[in-house]
């Protein structure tokens, strides 16, 4: 992989200093706080973190669907060089959402309407966005089901007639309906069994390759992400703490949090080193700890970690870490 010193023209997505806050009665939840990263066309990014770290919120922000009381309060998102945050909602909805950027929502198994045949649900996408008739929409729906390796006749099925894996395929098909260039998949395989999960991953990989898709896979599971991601971003308490090519990050995690996550994964083969884990629990994002947000759980925490937020330091091949351990002073 090239170093990140390339012209911006190559990037399909550039996020800089993005802030998404939820304004709740108790205070302000800084779910995404100053997040920056860029994606090349055809790249697969794995966005990894635990529940409540802001990874899903980040995904929602990219298609401007942050649920209230959440708001994007700062930063920019450039898609193919255009600032999509300054667009009007109308413009974004007609030009970008679903046509250019689409999303496979978490809990996809419940994302389908139980009383409408899946074909009609897919056809609805076409009638809303392209103004196609129901007949044309259904024809396209049949084509789409072929792409996700399903029998075209399944357009006539109701969701309850389909297995979990099949429903997931339908949801993936809907995300692909308008041929977007960027797809955000938010935990696309949770609630699926391992065998089905493997099939869905294969499908995502194949489709990504066939269509040159850019993919963002949001997951809590480092093993799953390793199966597909070229680049990984590790999020903790609203911040990206480590970012880089997956080959490098998995082999040589620099942030103590990433390292702790790696050591928490039970492995089926190889040396059975003891599972280490990370003491404590993720912080409350209304009152995150001062300085580095990970310091209360970090065994390497120094004085400065408690006082000042660590800057992001860049290493070879675009491997970036936000940790005082790696700041040369």
Rounded Cα distance, 97 and 94, in Å? 7
| Residues contacting 252, CB < 8 A, separation 6+ | none
Please provide the distance, in angstroms rounded to a whole number, between the alpha carbons at the two ends of the chain: 29
Q: Is 50 in the site for other proteins (CB under 8 A)?
A: yes
Nearest distance in Å: CB 252, other proteins: 12
| Residues contacting 197, CB < 8 A, separation 6+ | 189, 224
Q: Is 287 in the site for other proteins (CB under 8 A)?
A: no
Nearer to other proteins, 77 or 118 (CB): 118
Q: How many residues bind other proteins (CB under 8 A)?
A: 47
Q: Which of 120, 136, 230, 259 binds other proteins (CB under 8 A)?
A: 230
Q: Which of 282, 288, 291, 318 binds other proteins (CB under 8 A)?
A: 282
Q: Is 25 in the site for other proteins (CB under 8 A)?
A: no
Q: Which residues on neighbouring strands pair with residue 243, listed in sequence order?
A: 233, 320
Strand pairing category for 214-219 and 44-48: parallel
Q: Which of 149, 267, 306, 307 binds other proteins (CB under 8 A)?
A: 267
Q: Is 233 in the site for other proteins (CB under 8 A)?
A: no
> Cis link prior to 193 (omega < 30° from 0)?
no
Q: Is 238 in the site for other proteins (CB under 8 A)?
A: no
Q: Is 288 in the site for other proteins (CB under 8 A)?
A: no
C-beta contacts of 288-295 below 8 A and 24+ residues apart: 288/30, 288/237, 288/238, 292/322, 292/323, 292/324, 293/236, 293/237, 293/238, 293/239, 294/236, 294/237, 294/241, 294/255, 294/256, 294/257
Q: Is 261 in the site for other proteins (CB under 8 A)?
A: yes
Instruction: Identify the CA nearest to 282 among candidates 267, 297, 271.
Output: 297
Residues 91-130 that bind other proteins (CB under 8 A): none
* Residue whose entry in the numeric block shows the structure tokens 């099939």: 199
Q: Which residues on neighbouring strands pair with residue 13, listed in sequence order?
A: 39, 79
Q: Is 276 in the site for other proteins (CB under 8 A)?
A: yes
Nearest distance in Å: CB 200, other proteins: 11
Q: Which of 140, 246, 312, 323 binds other proteins (CB under 8 A)?
A: 246
Tokens of 317: 């091949």
Nearer to other proteins, 229 or 305 (CB): 229
Q: Is 179 in the site for other proteins (CB under 8 A)?
A: no
Q: Which of 146, 264, 287, 311 binds other proteins (CB under 8 A)?
A: 264
Q: Is 228 in the site for other proteins (CB under 8 A)?
A: yes
Q: Which residue ranges make up the site for other proteins (CB under 8 A)?
A: 50-51, 163, 165, 193-199, 201-202, 205-206, 220-224, 226-230, 232, 246-247, 250, 260-262, 264-269, 272, 275-279, 281-282, 297
């Amino acid at each position: 992989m090239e170093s990140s010193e390339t012209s911006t023209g190559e990037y399909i997505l550039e996020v800089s200093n993005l802030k998404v806050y939820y304004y709740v009665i108790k205070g302000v939840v800084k779910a995404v706080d100053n997040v920056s990263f860029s994606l090349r066309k055809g790249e697969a990014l794995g966005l990894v973190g635990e529940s409540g770290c802001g990874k899903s919120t980040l995904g929602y922000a990219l298609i401007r669907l942050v649920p209230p009381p959440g708001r994007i309060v700062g930063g920019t998102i450039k898609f193919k060089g255009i600032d999509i945050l300054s667009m009007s909602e109308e413009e974004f909805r007609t030009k970008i959402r679903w046509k250019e950027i689409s999303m496979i929502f978490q809990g996809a198994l419940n994302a389908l309407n139980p009383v409408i045949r899946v074909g009609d649900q897919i056809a609805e996408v076409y009638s809303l966005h392209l103004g196609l008739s129901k007949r044309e929409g259904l024809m396209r729906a049949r084509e789409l089901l072929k792409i996700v390796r399903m029998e075209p006749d399944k357009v006539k099925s109701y969701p309850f007639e389909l297995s979990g894996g099949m429903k997931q395929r339908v949801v993936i098909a809907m995300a692909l309906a308008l041929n977007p260039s960027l797809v955000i998949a938010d935990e696309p395989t949770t609630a699926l069994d391992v065998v089905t999960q493997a099939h869905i991953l294969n499908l995502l990989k194949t489709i990504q390759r066939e269509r040159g898709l850019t993919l963002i896979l949001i997951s809590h599971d480092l093993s799953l992400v390793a199966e597909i991601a070229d680049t990984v971003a590790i999020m903790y308490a609203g911040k990206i703490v480590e970012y880089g090519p997956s080959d490098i990050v998995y082999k040589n995690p620099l942030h103590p949090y990433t390292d702790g996550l790696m050591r928490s994964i039970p492995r089926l083969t190889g040396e059975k080193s003891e599972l280490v884990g990370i003491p404590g629990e993720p912080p409350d994002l209304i009152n995150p700890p001062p300085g580095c947000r990970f310091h209360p759980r970090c065994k390497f925490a120094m004085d400065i970690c408690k006082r000042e937020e660590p800057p992001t330091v860049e290493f070879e091949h675009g491997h970036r870490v936000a940790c005082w351990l790696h700041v040369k002073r």
